[in-house]
């Protein structure tokens, strides 16, 4: 109960700080957080206080995305613009059943975690905290969706050729020159739009009924609206699109249609087993409830892990609504790469998404699948070929399985270390500061090792993937550079729609030492600037591995230990 109270108080303070001016809110948050920290450590044991403190910080950082001062300033600016500019209101159809369906889906996904949270034995309190964190992280996107349904208003500024959307906590300004396409849909696609099912997407759901939907695709973001006069607004906005498109309406079946049941089950399982841990926790709760021995529990959890590995490709295909590519230029490019790599049975899928990304999945070559987002396929054929070559090596070398086995081995080592030193750890609880330091140190070592395994497979995919390309390393470097530039541009545009922020980070330039430290030590990919720079050196695999190991140490130090900065 204390954790619930702490979360509620933190949300309340975050909301109050959002209402107050930024300078005042900073002081309020500082005083309030200090007071809560003092209270927690005065009224609780050190370990309980530290866990409660972690819940407070997770709650604050989750909800600070919703209660954002930069978004508030953007909203105020747009409200002022509307007061002095001619505009047309884009009236939206309203149907309360639409938001009730969102609530029902959110409740179904969160309900599994809540049940586990209530009935999970106290002996595995760590999992309870993990479930609590997951529920906290679920709330902000759903709160955004609820507020958008209740308060969002859409305006068209014909003189400035801008679409403005103003909700309670945020607003968006979308230049029509950035509009790339319009699509009519017969109904809102609930299994694509709901926050719990979001995967590799930058979508804003402003649908307020089950009427015909207009999907507006801008550079970096996609909007879904249900205007009253669909035909008129579709024709009006269509003239801003530079490339002519075929007028077709996509038929979306209702969520309760029998053909959507399978899709719902896959997406629901994805939400509770990949985006959350409720599936594993539910299994663990049942086994503990049945008083199973520890070795039986271990075997069951391991078998479930193997099962999830086996269905990983199908799970991600259904979760992302990916469609297999079986013809066209992209198909022929992929088949050429797959043939050179010796993985001719590999399938290529495309995910409808504005995010620039591609990845490989599947336990082994026979079950290998490569997925590209639709945004990525708009890059030059040369860049797409480089990305496919990189992913093809992941399939050929079974890197998905390598990373999962590495994760499992590290978890076993960590668990065995805790088991062996359990008596020592119990004594250290009486020295709480030392205990917390050691726990964080072990956690950091775990994630650094996990990152090391993943990064090793990434640089190998760069190096060997380049051998599948005509121009070798230079081709791979140029492909990664084009991908990085497109990612930065899309991120910058998406930020400008809702805030005054700009993406100052340039992925192909060497960043600050802190950013380099985080990327080299904890991220699954080495920094792009280093990957491109290394490819341009045309070194052999042995030298590349050595250079990466040196860079993980050398590039993680502050700049005054480094040589003069090198820009690509």
Categorize the per-residue pLDDT at 165 as very low, low, confident or very high, splitting at 50, 70 and 90.
Answer: very high
Nearest CA-CA partner of 232 in 245, 214, 253 = 214
Q: Residue 174 CB: number of other CB atoms within 10 A?
A: 21
How far are the Cα atoms of 97, 150, 196, 208, 360 from residue 93, in angstroms, in the given order? Answer: 12, 12, 24, 6, 41
Give dist(CA 457, CA 265) in Å, integer: 32
Nearest CA-CA partner of 378 in 403, 346, 354 = 354
Give the sheet arrangement for strand 88-90, strand by strand.
88-90, 153-157, 162-166, 171-175
Give dist(CA 512, CA 156) in Å, integer: 41
* pLDDT above 70 (res 438): yes
Give dist(CA 22, CA 234) in Å, integer: 40
The residues assigned a catalytic role are 391
Interstrand relation of 347-351 and 369-373 (parallel, antiparallel or unpaired): parallel
- b/e sequence 100-124, b meaning 16+ C-beta within 10 Å: ebbeebbeebbebbeebbeebeeee
Per-residue pLDDT, 565: 47
Q: Residue 235 CB: number of other CB atoms within 10 A?
A: 12
Give dist(CA 468, CA 341) in Å, integer: 7
The three-state secondary structure class of 501 is coil
Q: Give strand ranges (E) for 268-386.
A: 323-324, 347-351, 358-361, 369-373
User: Can you spell out the DSSP letters for 425-493?
Assistant: HHHHTTSHHHHHHHHHHHHHHHHHHHHHHHHHHHHHHHHHHHTTSTTTHHHHHHHHHHHHHHHHHHHHH
- Evaluate whether 74 touches 173 at the Cβ level (below 8 Å): yes
Q: What percent of the chain has a predicted confidence (pLDDT) above 90?
A: 42
Give dist(CA 320, CA 350) in Å, integer: 9
The more confidently predicted of residues 5 and 439 is 5
Both tokens of residue 219? 């550079």
The more confidently predicted of residues 445 and 130 is 445
The three-state secondary structure class of 1 is coil
Per-residue pLDDT, 568: 43
DSSP class of residue 91?
-
- Evaluate whether 327 touches 174 at the Cβ level (below 8 Å): no
Q: Residue 501 CB: number of other CB atoms within 10 A?
A: 15
Residue pointed to by tokens 């207009």: 214
pLDDT (tens digit per residue) in 465-504: 999 998 899 999 999 999 999 998 888 888 889 887 766 6
Give dist(CA 95, CA 139) in Å, integer: 23
Per-residue pLDDT, 250: 87
The three-state secondary structure class of 532 is helix
In 311-378, which residue ranges form alpha helices assigned H by DSSP?
Answer: 312-320, 329-341
* pLDDT above 90 (res 241): no
Both tokens of residue 487? 């990612």
- Evaluate whether 165 touches 174 at the Cβ level (below 8 Å): yes
Per 3-state DSSP, what percentage of the chain is helix, strand, and coil (rounded to 5)?
65, 10, 25
* pLDDT above 80 (res 219): yes
Both tokens of residue 508? 């192909």
Nearest CA-CA partner of 337 in 383, 398, 400 = 383
- Evaluate whether 215 touches 204 at the Cβ level (below 8 Å): no
Counting other chains too, the contacts that 118-125 makes at CB distance below 8 Å and 24 or more residues apart are 119/285, 119/289, 120/281, 120/284, 120/285, 120/288, 121/285, 121/288, 123/288, 124/284, 124/288
Per-residue pLDDT, 30: 83
Give dist(CA 317, CA 351) in Å, integer: 8
Per-residue pLDDT, 566: 45
Tell me how many degrees the CA angle 231-237-239 measures, rounded to the nearest 5: 110
pLDDT (tens digit per residue) in 14-60: 888 888 887 788 888 888 888 888 888 788 777 677 778 888 888 88
* pLDDT above 50 (res 567): no
Helix (H) or strand (E) holding 201: none
Q: Residue 218 CB: number of other CB atoms within 10 A?
A: 24
pLDDT (tens digit per residue) in 311-336: 888 888 988 899 999 999 999 999 99
pLDDT (tens digit per residue) in 404-436: 888 888 878 877 776 677 676 666 666 666 766
pLDDT (tens digit per residue) in 286-311: 777 778 887 888 888 888 888 888 88
Give dist(CA 122, CA 435) in Å, integer: 21
Residue pointed to by tokens 């250079």: 547
What mean pLDDT is reported for the chain?
Answer: 86
- In degrees and rounded to multiples of 5, residue 92 shows phi and psi of -105, 140
Q: Residue 486 CB: number of other CB atoms within 10 A?
A: 19
The three-state secondary structure class of 2 is helix
Average confidence (pLDDT) over 451-464: 95
Both tokens of residue 526? 């080495």
pLDDT (tens digit per residue) in 58-110: 888 889 888 988 899 999 999 999 999 999 999 999 999 999 999 999 888 88
How far are the Cα atoms of 68, 74, 501 from residue 168, in angstroms, in the given order? Answer: 12, 12, 20
Per-residue pLDDT, 203: 85
pLDDT (tens digit per residue) in 127-146: 677 777 778 888 899 999 99
């Amino acid at each position: 109960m204390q954790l619930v109270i702490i979360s509620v108080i933190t949300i309340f303070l975050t909301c109050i700080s959002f209402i107050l001016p930024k300078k005042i809110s900073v002081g309020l948050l500082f005083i309030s957080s200090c007071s809560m920290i003092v209270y927690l450590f005065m009224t609780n044991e050190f370990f309980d206080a530290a866990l409660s403190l972690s819940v407070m910080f997770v709650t604050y950082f989750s909800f600070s995305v919703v209660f954002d001062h930069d978004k508030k300033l953007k909203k105020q600016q747009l409200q002022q613009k509307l007061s002095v500019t001619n505009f047309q209101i884009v009236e939206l159809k309203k149907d309360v059943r639409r938001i009730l369906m969102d609530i029902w889906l959110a409740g179904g996904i969160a309900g599994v975690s809540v049940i586990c949270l209530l009935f999970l034995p106290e002996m595995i309190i760590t999992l309870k905290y993990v479930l609590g964190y997951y529920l906290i992280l679920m709330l902000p996107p759903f709160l955004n969706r609820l507020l958008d349904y209740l308060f969002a208003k859409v305006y068209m500024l014909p003189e400035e050729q801008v679409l403005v959307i103003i909700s309670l906590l945020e607003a968006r300004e979308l230049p029509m020159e950035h509009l790339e396409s319009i699509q009519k849909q017969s109904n809102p696609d609930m299994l694509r739009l709901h926050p719990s099912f979001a995967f590799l997407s930058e979508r804003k759901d402003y649908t307020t009924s089950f009427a015909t939907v207009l999907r507006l695709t801008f550079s970096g973001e996609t909007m879904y609206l249900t205007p009253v006069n669909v035909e008129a607004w579709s024709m009006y906005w269509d003239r801003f699109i530079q490339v002519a498109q075929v007028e077709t309406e996509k038929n979306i079946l209702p969520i309760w249609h029998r053909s959507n049941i399978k899709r719902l089950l896959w997406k629901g399982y994805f939400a509770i087993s990949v985006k959350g841990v409720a599936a594993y926790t539910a299994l663990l709760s049942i086994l503990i409830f049945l008083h199973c021995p520890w070795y039986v529990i271990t075997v069951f959890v391991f078998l479930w892990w193997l099962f999830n590995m086996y269905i990983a490709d199908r799970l991600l295909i259904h979760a992302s609504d990916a469609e297999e590519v079986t013809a066209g230029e992209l198909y022929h490019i992929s088949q050429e790469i797959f043939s050179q790599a010796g993985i001719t049975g590999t399938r290529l899928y495309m995910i409808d998404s504005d995010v620039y990304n591609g990845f490989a999945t599947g336990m082994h070559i026979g079950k290998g699948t490569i997925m590209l987002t639709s945004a990525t396929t708009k890059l030059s054929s040369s860049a797409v070929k480089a990305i496919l070559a990189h992913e093809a090596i992941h399939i050929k070398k079974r890197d998905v399985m390598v990373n999962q086995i590495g994760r499992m081995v590290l978890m076993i080592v960590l668990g065995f270390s805790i088991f062996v030193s359990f008596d020592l750890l119990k004594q250290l609880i009486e020295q709480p500061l030392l205990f917390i330091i050691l726990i964080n140190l072990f956690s950091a070592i775990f994630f650094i090792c996990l990152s090391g395994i993943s990064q090793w497979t990434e640089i190998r995919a760069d190096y060997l993937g380049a051998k599948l390309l005509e121009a070798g390393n230079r081709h791979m470097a140029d492909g990664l550079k084009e991908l990085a530039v497109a990612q930065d541009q899309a991120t910058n545009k998406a930020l400008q729609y809702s805030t005054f922020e700009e993406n100052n980070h340039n992925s192909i330039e060497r960043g600050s030492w802190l950013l380099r430290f985080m990327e080299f030590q904890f991220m699954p990919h080495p920094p792009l600037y280093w990957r491109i720079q290394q490819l341009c050196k045309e070194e052999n695999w042995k030298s590349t591995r050595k250079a990466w190991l040196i860079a993980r140490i050398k590039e993680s130090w502050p700049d005054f230990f480094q040589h003069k900065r090198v820009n690509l």
